[in-house]
């Protein structure tokens, strides 16, 4: 993590509804299970972004970790994360 992580903003997600937000990664505040991540809607300056969105469904992420997974929306089954604004 560097000071640039919050240079554009962030969003804390605690519920189980789909949360639309353009993010480039997330930090896990409490043990979390992800129901779905939607691939980024915006273009990527580094080229095409190859994301296995189906592969994130049902994955458990332990508290304290940072995951550089980009997305335009996330849905949690349980837990609490901070999304870092794209």
- Residue 62, Cβ neighbours under 10 Å: how many? 10
Picking from 20, 21, 15, the residue whose alpha carbon sits closest to that of residue 80 is 15
The pTM assigned to this predicted structure is 0.84
pLDDT of residue 19: 98
CA–CA dist 68, 25 (Å, integer): 4
How do the domains of the chain map onto residue ranges? Answer: 3-85
Q: For 42-67, how does the pLDDT look when each residue is reduced to its tens digit (9 = 90+)? A: 666 666 667 777 778 889 999 999 99
Give the pLDDT confidence score for residue 43 in this predicted structure.
Answer: 64
What per-residue confidence (pLDDT) applies to 55?
A: 79
């Amino acid at each position: 993590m560097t000071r640039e992580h919050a240079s554009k903003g962030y969003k804390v997600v605690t519920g189980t509804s789909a949360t639309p937000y353009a993010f480039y990664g997330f930090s896990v505040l409490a043990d979390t299970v992800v129901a779905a991540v939607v691939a980024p809607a915006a273009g990527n300056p580094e080229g095409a972004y190859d994301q296995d969105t189906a592969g994130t469904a049902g994955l458990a992420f332990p508290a304290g970790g940072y995951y550089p997974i980009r997305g335009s929306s996330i849905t949690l089954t349980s837990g609490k994360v901070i999304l870092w604004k794209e």
